[in-house]
Structure 1
Amino acid sequence: MMVSKVLPSMTKATRGVALCCLAALASGPAAAQGLRLPGELGGGGPSLTAPQASPAPAPMAPAPAPTAPAMTAPAMTAPAAPAPAAPRASSGSRIQLGDAIVAVVNTDVITRRELDTRVQAAVATLARQQITPPDQKTLERQVLERMIVEKTQLQEAAQSGIRIDDMQLDRAISRIAEQNNVSVSQMRDQIERDGLPFSVYREDLRQEVTLLRLRERAVDSQIQISEPEIDAYLAEQHEAAPAELTLSQILVRVPEGSSSDMVARLRRKAEDLLGQARGGADFARLAAASSDGEEALRGGDLGTRPSDRWPSMFVDAVAQLSPGGISEIVQSGNGFHIIKLVDRKTASGGAGAAAMPVQQTHARHILIRTTAVLTAEQARDRLVNIRQRIVQGGSSFADMARQYSNDASAPQGGDLGWLSPQETVPEFERAMDALQPGQVSEPVQSPFGWHLIQVIERRTQDVGRERQRSEARQTLFQRKLDQAYEDWARELRDKAYVEIRLDR
């Protein structure tokens, strides 16, 4: 999937905010407990009670696939696997008369028309980045490999029962428009002016959210960060803050189970590419033409992060380089990496947690989720009746939450603990902020369903240390996420039956 399709003319930072909105919409109880923004998905403890990683207006979820620095592009031949049943067009593949099939992925196909559309988009992306695209044959193979990896993940999502319905999609679009300070109709016009039919944009976005939810379930939720790890990290950072590194890479992937002869041949290929890069060849163009990394069609651009969020082998490889320098070959479990240090910004010395007083709200809620058999109107009516029983004094809020709430907080009487600003989705926070202690809201709709909210009390609290630990947890999470995502994506690709028909 192409994250840049969230809104074509967004800045990189704004697109990130939009993805955060999608993450908030897509997250299930493991990530959001029906309420929280997923600032720390899978971060070693219940994210329901974890503070956000930074005081920014919308906490960032760990970025999806494009941020994984060593995301690999497997070999172009199909792994040894039994042939599947006759291939069929997937829900996203609308085969027309005379439309050739360029790849079979398990029981789905990728058509020539689909590939041509994605190649055109890749050419436009490279042009915007002022990167000369590789020759047509190389570009087609690069794009097709991205589509194959994407297809395997969408198949996994379907098998896992992950589905984004139209109501969820409409809310995601509304949230993206709101974050970009435009109406949905203005957003639609802007997208179509950029040459992308809005119906295509919707389906691309549906796949974005589907893949994000799949990754949360399959990868993010498996990553655990312990309190001792956080303590050790903070101790390391006490003296000096990490520098920010901007890196690019060329990856020569070594398929799992490769023979020693194959490994030697691929190393020679990496050495040849290193020689070209150091000999003055344009690194971005070389990456676009030859890298097996997910980021190849971005010229190998891996982005900018504090050094403590990069894999240690990358940091070590560029430690003695000046900006513009190119590392020796770095070998990992995925293959051979050539790392370019694009930029390094030295940070100031570290310090303890700065004071950060905020007003916190102690609240509880009752959540009724809509389902295939329970409509939004029925969910709202159910909460109207529950609220009436509470305000008339016949039942306590906590008892009603234990009996009726669909949230993980139900056994605790719906108690959410102390909430800081921007820790919950906007609809919930606006309704909560309007209440006085003891008051019960009218039914409130959010992306997770319908809520009744009761404010218990408020306080002013210094959350500086809490935020510091939250940021440390997020940094450690990101370190582990890259390798975990890479391993998972490679495993899906390697076990798939793939038949490439480009040359037929």
Structure 2
Amino acid sequence: MTDRFFLHIRPPIWLACATLLWSLSVHAQGLRSSGQLDVPRSAPASAGASNVQGTADYIVALVNSEPVTNNEVRQRLVRVEQQMAQQGAAMPARDQLARQVLEQIINERIQIQQATELGITVNEADVTQAEESIAAQNQLSPEQFRQRLAAEGMDINRLRNDLRSQILLQRVRERQVDSRVRVTEADIDDFIREQQGSNVLANLELNLGHILFIVPEGASPERIKELQDKAQGVAERARAGGDFAQLAREFSEAPERVNGGQFGMRPAERLPSLFVDATRSLNVGAVAGPLRSPAGFHILKVLDKRQAGMPDVNVNQTRARHILLRPDGQLSQADAVARLNGWRQQLASGQTTFEALAREHSQDGSASQGGDLGWANPGQFVPEFEQAMNSLRPGEVSAPLISRFGAHLIKVEERRQTRLSAREQREIVRGLVREKKTDEALRAWGQDVRGRAFIEYREAPQR
């Protein structure tokens, strides 16, 4: 599983279909948005399209002689504004937002023209499959889905045209960018070296153990020396392997003594500079101090440290099973979802087991293991699959889920926390490096195709 496809859509459908619209502003700058295929967006007349249609239309820009009209910008603008309002996002000035939307449309138009030049096509079957995916994701038959669209004033032809454009955009980006990105072992080494060798505090997170000996205000030199000697003795015990948490509970006068002296993982910028300067170059397990501050004498132990951008050493893993049905000429997505729902009811009533159903019906390589996917790290599956899996408690079975691979039923068996091996950490870093390189390549490609396009701005979009 390597790509994200469609999201859940809830009433009203037209607005939820717009959920990912503003992510296109990322694409407009040549960035990648999680490799996902954007859900198409079309607003109904009730959402303001009637006002758009009532405005005199005119050309606001030409893209290689292909016009972009004022109504196109206004229709997109309505959808963006309502999506931002739904998400509670800060709303820029409308004129500024209209300009950003125009740039979105121009960049999409250029990239679609590039796809056409390369001979990339999207047939009606692809569009129908995408439409059925959205319907199935919402537990609706294709007919019910269209009825719901009609009831909300949404034009199915516009929806399908938007779907076609989004599939086309995804395919041209995959061909021109994704397929050309390579990550070498040297790339991974450079990334790790860069993160671990960074002296930027913003990249550093620390979990420190802390023991404090308070020096009272106005304390005599003798009392200060006594407290320093006591702190030195405790520090030596800690360096010799003593239980730091127990030492903190016994001697520390700091509030975190009840937690064994632990601050918890914090960005270095949120810790006192005295503590960071003393520990930033130490390895995990090392002890620093006693350090003197106006408050007294401090002993610090580096319990954990990590660089931002590096994978956590300890992760929560999930072991799940799934049943996969792949729609084809004999099995539609709606029928696949109906079958999965029927099996889910059988499981709920105790008529069968998930393992038995997976062995008999799943069209995945895991079928012979009863659908067992093994222990999975975070980020191993496509986002919509992982999101559904993460929402389940052990023993629970999901509703049917649609991904680019087909229709799934998921059951979570158990969860555990484990420490990643060095190889597993490198594989996670590989994904981080690939995403970074893909972002850079997509940005460069987007700028390149735009640089070679003829763009003529006419009148500014009107509200």
TM-score (norm: length of structure 2): 0.43
In the superposition, the TM-score normalised over structure 1's length comes to 0.40
Higher helix share: 2
Higher relative contact order structure (alpha carbons within 8 Å, sequence separation ≥ 6): 1
Q: Which has the larger radius of gyration?
A: 2
